[in-house]
Structure 1
Amino acid sequence: MGLLQTTLAAIYPPSCLGCGEMVDSDFGLCGSCWGQTEFIGGASCDSCGTPLPGTAIEGVIHCDDCMRDPKPWAHGRAALTYSGMGRKLILQLKHGDRQEIARPAAGWMRMAIQPLITEKTLIAPVPLHWLRMAKRRFNQSALIAKQLSDMTGCDWCADLLQRPKRTLSLDGKTR
């Protein structure tokens, strides 16, 4: 198996997920793209995962939006902000058929949710309406959920949630 992997690496060297430049390992980012990716570390809202000023602290903290309009769930996390390279990677996964991005995205997500994982944790991807699923051919959320399940050992259920209502695309809309 080692010879096959070496041969494949010589023919298809690892490339940056963001720009295609050669990198040291598969599913990585080059220094420039890494610098354009805003990973969320330190303090963040316990409900939505929005980064907050300061360092992580014990206890529950919420952003202004979640205090004003509480979410119907207990905890929410995000691995990176939806800007710069983070936005580019997400859009490439969703609309560019770049399914290989799901694996590193799950790894980044695992780091964000690690403190919340228990033996009872169940991972459930956000579903697509069947018409959008037919158009896109895959659910990016399910791809990440499967990888996240593999990395954490948590169970996952691909069809736990349903989206019976066809909603408009969020493309171009504000928060």
Structure 2
Amino acid sequence: MNKKKSSGFTLIELITVIVILAILAVVAFPRFMSYQKEAHFSTADSAFASFESAVNLYHDKWLTEGEPIGVVNYATGNIYPTSTGYPLTLRDNAGSNSPIDKLEGNDCLDLWRSLLTTDLTVAHHIDGKPVYNHNDDIVSWYTGDQCYYYYTKGADIGEELPILYYNPVSGEFTKKTERPFE
């Protein structure tokens, strides 16, 4: 008599493996999500640091050229300085002997696109449209005397986003995280 021994897993062994995998998934998933958020914040920090460096390099060039009022050829075209020599706009101030110190329309968006060549997409914030769930990586806008840039990629509605404030007259930058206005 030949007895055939069947091989395989018992039901108890299979259930034990499934339970162990479920516990691992519950423990690992939140950690994975935090790594993803950290990666987005690191990307934002890197993009904001690049923008800050480009602005400071522009200002240094303006100083070394003798503080011209007109166009300073830099990056992708003609960027006009404020009275203090920080980049502000691509708008031509032809015929005027004074620099432009007032933000308008797409100045912040145009400035970002002119100073940086990057894979990140940047869009102008439109009143009434939400900042969250935006198709672009960075949403720009201006308020009063400063530009701001929200990093929106990977953000859920209601959570704080990395933001960079840039004042083109003083040349000051502020980086923080906050909820955007809606």
TM-score normalized with structure 2 length: 0.27
Larger-gyration structure (1/2): 2
TM-score normalized with structure 1 length: 0.28
Task: Determine which structure has the larger strand proportion and give its number.
Answer: 2
Task: Determine which structure has the larger helix proportion and give its number.
Answer: 1
